[in-house]
Copies of this chain bind each other. A is one copy, B any other.
Amino acid sequence: MPDAATEPAKRGRPRRGPDPERFREIVDAAAEVFLEKGYSATSIQDISDRVGILKGSLYHYVRSKEDFLYRIIKDVYDEAIDDIRKIGEGEQEPLARLAAFIRAHVRFAAAHLTAYTIQLREFEQLSAERREEIRQGGETYVEALQAILEDGQAAGLVDASLQVRLASIIITGELNSMTRWYSPKGSLEPDQLADVYVGMVLTSVASEAAVTKAGGVEALRTEFALGQG
């Protein structure tokens, strides 16, 4: 995976590549502006203003405006994929795994709020080839969720009549929608938000047996909570 596509401005032979810290600084500036104005409505000028550099100078780091978007999205995407893989490696119980999945997602989205939001909003603005390349990343959130729900059904803990694929899509949308309003500057900590999500999602799919086992819906709703932040 040499990823030559954005290896900033590698044309000829030499080039150790530019200072990676500076590069990150610049990509982060781009991300901020993309978040505020939207990718298409952002000009290269906007980015260079944010960095405090002339617009032409940005092309030291990147070959096109789209490269910025690509970098931002590729990076979160790769990390997100890693994250998914690790989830529930310990947990065997499906509802516990579901809870862990949700919490991981909320934490991740909160930790990479800017980039993750951009990925959700602007993915379609990437060129077809790059969209394809990134999508190959493998298993998606939806698929991972679906697998957990299926395990849950097999274990009798998830409502057997649930349309698992559809539910996964709905839950994913529910979780992702936090990017539309969540701010790290607010008083709501990621883990507190995760507690709420976990409670709502679990009860929205739990089987009768799961509810009973937990001692009722309200009990189930707090069973996997971390408590006050």
Measured CB to CB, the residues of A under 8 A from B are: 11-15, 38-41, 45, 48-50, 52-54, 121, 124-125, 159, 161, 163, 166-167, 169-174, 176-178, 180-181, 188, 193, 196-197, 199-201, 203-208, 211, 216-218, 221-222
**Smallest Cβ distance from A50 to chain B, in angstroms?**
8
Selected from B38, B39, B159, B193, the residue in CB contact (under 8 A) with A217 is B159
Residues in B neighbouring A177, C-beta threshold 8 A: 170, 172-174, 176-177
Selected from B13, B121, B174, the residue in CB contact (under 8 A) with A174 is B174
Selected from B11, B54, B180, the residue in CB contact (under 8 A) with A173 is B180
Contact B173 A14, beta carbon cutoff 8 Å: no
Contact B221 A216, beta carbon cutoff 8 Å: no
Residues in B neighbouring A161, C-beta threshold 8 A: 218, 221-222
- 10 residue pairs bridging A and B, Cβ less than 8 Å apart: A14-B54, A41-B125, A159-B217, A166-B188, A166-B193, A166-B196, A167-B196, A177-B177, A201-B204, A217-B217
Which residue of the partner chain B has the closest CB to A202?
B204
**Smallest Cβ distance from A38 to chain B, in angstroms?**
6
Selected from B45, B200, B221, the residue in CB contact (under 8 A) with A170 is B200
Contact A178 B173, beta carbon cutoff 8 Å: yes
Which residue of the partner chain B has the closest CB to A36?
B124
Residues in B neighbouring A188, C-beta threshold 8 A: 166
Given A161-B221, A166-B196; 9 other pairs, CB 8 A cutoff: A11-B49, A38-B125, A41-B125, A159-B217, A166-B193, A170-B197, A170-B200, A200-B205, A203-B206
